[in-house]
Amino acid sequence: MQTFTVNEAKTQFDELIDQVQREPILITRHNSVLGVMASGQDYQAMRVFFADRLQRTLTQSAKEARSRGLTEERLKQLMADEH
């Protein structure tokens, strides 16, 4: 992954935009990563990936909770803090 300092990103913005279409770019200041610039296509792919992963985790958690006897009524009690 290529790295640009903040100053390089400012002075070479056109090059940065061209590069980010090929791969994500680290943006640094004083050798610390401030952020990562990604293409719109890569960003959208990441959003889809993480949304799918979250959905699978929630589905698995719900399945496990049901298998351990958690009911809708008990969940409502827990959420209302009515132990």
* 31 Ramachandran zone, left/alpha/beta (phi>0; psi -120 to 50): left
- CATH label, 2-38, candidates 3.40.1620.10, 3.30.950.10, 3.30.200.20, 3.40.1280.10: 3.40.1620.10
pLDDT digit string, tens, across residues 15-34: 999 999 999 999 999 999 99
Distance between CA atoms of 70 and 8, rounded to whole angstroms?
Answer: 55
Residue with tokens 């990441």: 46
Split at pLDDT 50, 70, 90, the class of 82 is low
Residue 36 φ then ψ, to 5°: -130, 130
Q: How far apart are CA 67 and CA 59, in angstroms?
A: 12
CA distance 58 to 35: 29
The model's pTM is 0.67
* Averaged pLDDT of the chain: 94
* pLDDT tens for each residue of 61-80: 999 999 999 998 888 888 99
Indicate the domain borders of the chain: 2-38, 41-79
